[in-house]
Chains A and B, each alone.
Chain A
Amino acid sequence: MTDILFLILSLFALTGAVGMITLSSTMHSALSFVVTVMALAGLYALLSASFLFMVQIIIYAGAIIALLLFIIMFLNIRQDHTPKEPNKYMTMLLIAIVLAPMDYLLFTAFARMPHIEDFSTKIDNFGDIKMLGNALFRGWLLPFEAISILLLVALIGSIVLARKKERR
């Protein structure tokens, strides 16, 4: 059952990613990326990370992609605003050929890690919100506070950057 779920979700994720980098319309590309994000949320659920599953849906699909779609519609991106890119497939093929040795290296490096049985589908409380919160507020308190300051700085910075300059 989990094998079939994994196959379907990974197929969705890869299809969404390929559509995202190949589609010419910006809006279609963004909508294709939503498919990838939701499929990745399902994969987190398969990996028994139930809290990250919710966070992925709320933050990525709910906030980041919604913000991106909002900006695309707000700026009213038309076909004449976007570049033409007549030979993008050739470039993609070239970069894929260049990247193939790196992928092979990574794959062989991970394949040498010791094999463990029963990797997926273990029902316990691993990755639920209680365990994550315990670890977060005991061992990771300083990084957590730093992240909150970073979010505040990003909030102020985005308001300052997107504001219209007032005429003097």
Chain B
Amino acid sequence: MIEASFMSYISLCILLFSLGIIGLISRKNIFIIYMSLELMLNAINLMLVTLSKYFGDIDGQIIAMMVMAIAASEAAVFLSLIVAMFRLKKSANIDDYNTLKQKGTL
């Protein structure tokens, strides 16, 4: 049986981060890309808290709290960008957001 040790927490962090990268690259829905980003931030947060417990140092938890604050501000800006882009294109597909793409070449 797996004991709740340091390595099990670290393995969970690595798995969650990898799932975040997989969702970030393979999906085309802008909302799921955003949630994958949040999942990666959460995995990093869990690793910071685990290392904070491991070293007996509170600084890891403070950095995790700052990551949460940055995630909150990122959520506000990202979601308002999504609202603006959805109003313009009427689509949640990132392939439709190609206004800046140069036509003709490539």
Contact = CB atoms under 8 A, between A and B. Distances in A.
B86 to A, nearest CB: 5
A75 to B, nearest CB: 5
B79 A68 contact: yes
A119 B6 contact: yes
A154 B27 contact: no
Given A7-B2, A64-B75, A52 B61 contact: yes
Nearest to B55: A116
Q: Do most interface residues of chain A lie in helix, strand or loop, or is the interface mixed?
A: helix
Contacts of B76: 67, 154-155, 157-158
A106 B4 contact: no
A3 B21 CA distance: 28
A72 B31 contact: yes
B52 A49 contact: yes
A147 B27 contact: no
Given A3-B3, A107-B14, A55 B68 contact: yes
Size band of the B side of the interface? 35 or more
Contacts of A51: 61
Nearest to B4: A6
A83 B95 contact: yes
B68 to A, nearest CB: 5
A20 B22 CA distance: 11
Contacts of A153: 73
B4 A150 contact: no
Contact of B62 (A29, A99, A140): A140
Contacts of B104: none
Contacts of A106: 10, 14
Contacts of B79: 67-68, 71, 158, 162
Contacts of B10: 106-107, 110
Interface in B18-38: 18-23, 25-29, 31-32, 34-36, 38
B75 A67 contact: yes
A20 B77 contact: no
A119 B18 contact: no
Interface of B: 1-12, 14-16, 18-23, 25-29, 31-32, 34-36, 38-39, 42, 45-46, 49-50, 52-54, 56, 58-59, 61-62, 64-66, 68-77, 79-84, 86-87, 90-95
Given A18-B19, A96-B22, 16 more contacts: A10-B12, A29-B35, A60-B38, A72-B31, A81-B93, A99-B18, A119-B4, A119-B54, A120-B4, A126-B53, A140-B62, A150-B69, A151-B73, A153-B73, A161-B77, A164-B87
